[in-house]
Amino acid sequence: MSIATRSLPRTIGAHAILLTYTVIALFPVVLVIMNSFKSRAGIFGAPLTPPTPKTFDLIGYTTVIGQGDFFHYFQNSLVVTVGSLFFVLLFGAMAAFALSEYRFRGNTLMGLYLALGIMIPIRLATVAILQLMVASGLVNTLTALILVYTAQGLPLAVFILSEFMKQVSDDLKNAGRIDGLSEYTIFFRLVVPLVRPSMATVAVFTMIPIWNDLWFPLILAPSEETKTVTLGAQLFLGQFVTNWNAILAALSLAILPVLVLYVIFSRQLIRGITSGAVK
């Protein structure tokens, strides 16, 4: 490394720029969470200071927990996200294995067919998806959302996982075949455990857009029983426009679970991106 890249002013400059942007990135989040613990007077009187004993107030949180059925929405989101994640990973890994392991006629074509969904968003099919769900009686069920998100997540999952499955050693699989293992056993017992890290990466990539989606819950499952937390928060915020305590508390409640999950999985996610999983 040259001296030039290590010189002191340069390093200070780099830190200054990165620090400035970090502040820009975190400021709104910190501001919302900080003010959610304040009284109304505190929110408007001194929005930029952390809550002091004088301004500390949990009125926003009591309103949210008393009014909105957030726990239920949260449960719905969890069911939808975990359900779709399970099917995306299972079906995606199976298809990726078939595409990367066997040579058969139409292999490339099938790969291209499945990759189409990476570029063309499923949202454009909404009109016909709604008709399909109405016809099969799945409107306002969580099943409809799980089906749609499974289809949405599959293309990228198949694409990424087949890249990784190509790296699993052939000798290992052939050794299994000589020992008389069936193709299914080879897949579930040998290959899946070896690609588990990349499956975790795919899981994080798949999870974030599903958890945060507003479009499909709004269109396919807007009923009270099937509302997801994103849709619930959206409607709640619309109703309580003037109750700033409640809005800030609701926003904080929506931010916190995602933030906690992110802090736990951030290493996995960043390693996944930087390992060239998305090329």
Partner 1 sequence: MAVQARPKRPFRWHIAVFLAPAVLVYTAIMILPLAGTLQLSLFRNVDQHQVFVGLDNFRTLFGDPNWSVNFWNALRNNVWFFIIHMLVQNPVGVLLAALLSSPRLRFSAFYRTAIFVPTILSFVIVGFAWKLILSPLWGVAPHLMDIVGLRSLFTPWLGKEQYALTALSLISVWQFIGIPMMLIYAALLSIPDEVIEAAECDGITGLSQFWKIKLPLILPSIGIISILTFVGNFNAFDLIYTAQGALAGPNYSTDILGTFLYRAFFGFQLQVGDPNMGATIATMMFLIILGGVCVYLFLIQTRLRRYQF
What is the smallest separation between the CB atom of 62 and partner 1, expressed in angstroms?
20
Q: What is the DSSP letter of 48?
A: T
Q: How far is CA 22 from CA 16, 18, 55, in A?
A: 10, 6, 27
Question: What is the SS3 assignment for 52?
Answer: coil
Q: In the structure encoding, which two tokens stand for residue 89, read together?
A: 């990973």
218 to 257: interface string for partner 1, x by CB under 8 A: -x----------x--xx--x------x--xx--x--xx--
Residue 127 binds to partner 1 (criterion: CB under 8 A): yes
**Which stretch in 3-11, 49-57, 58-66, 195-203 sits in contact with partner 1 by CB under 8 A?**
3-11
> Any idea what the Cα angle at residue 165 is, between residues 172 and 118, rounded to 5°?
170
Q: What is the DSSP letter of 53?
A: T
Residue 8 binds to partner 1 (criterion: CB under 8 A): no
Closest CA to 233 of 246, 220, 216: 246
**Which stretch in 58-66, 67-75, 163-171, 179-187 sits in contact with partner 1 by CB under 8 A?**
179-187
Sole binder of partner 1 in the list 34, 114, 145, 199 (CB under 8 A): 114
Q: 38 — phi, psi (to 5°)?
A: -115, 165
Residue for token pair 């990973």: 89
Residue 200 binds to partner 1 (criterion: CB under 8 A): no
* Calpha distance 186→23 (Å, rounded): 49
What is the smallest separation between the CB atom of 5 and partner 1, expressed in angstroms?
6
What is the smallest separation between the CB atom of 155 and partner 1, expressed in angstroms?
7
* Residues 218 and 231 sit within 8 Å (Cβ to Cβ): yes
Q: What is the DSSP letter of 36?
A: T
What is the smallest separation between the CB atom of 189 and partner 1, expressed in angstroms?
14
Is the sign of the CA dihedral 148, 152, 153, 154 positive or negative? positive
* Calpha distance 203→115 (Å, rounded): 18
Sole binder of partner 1 in the list 6, 9, 170, 180 (CB under 8 A): 6
What is the smallest separation between the CB atom of 56 and partner 1, expressed in angstroms?
19
Residue 202 binds to partner 1 (criterion: CB under 8 A): no
Residue 112 binds to partner 1 (criterion: CB under 8 A): no
Of 203 and 247, the one with the shorter C-beta distance to partner 1 is 247
- For partner 1, the binding residues in 149-168 under the rule CB under 8 A are 150-152, 154-155, 158
Of 47 and 197, the one with the shorter C-beta distance to partner 1 is 47
What is the smallest separation between the CB atom of 78 and partner 1, expressed in angstroms?
15
Sole binder of partner 1 in the list 53, 179, 180, 184 (CB under 8 A): 184
What is the smallest separation between the CB atom of 41 and partner 1, expressed in angstroms?
13
Counting beta carbons within 10 angstroms of the beta carbon of residue 52, is it exposed (0 to 12), middle (13 to 18) or buried (19 or more)?
A: exposed
Q: What is the DSSP letter of 38?
A: B
* Calpha distance 219→16 (Å, rounded): 45
- For partner 1, the binding residues in 38-97 under the rule CB under 8 A are 43-44, 47-48, 87, 90-92, 94-95, 97
What is the smallest separation between the CB atom of 83 and partner 1, expressed in angstroms?
13
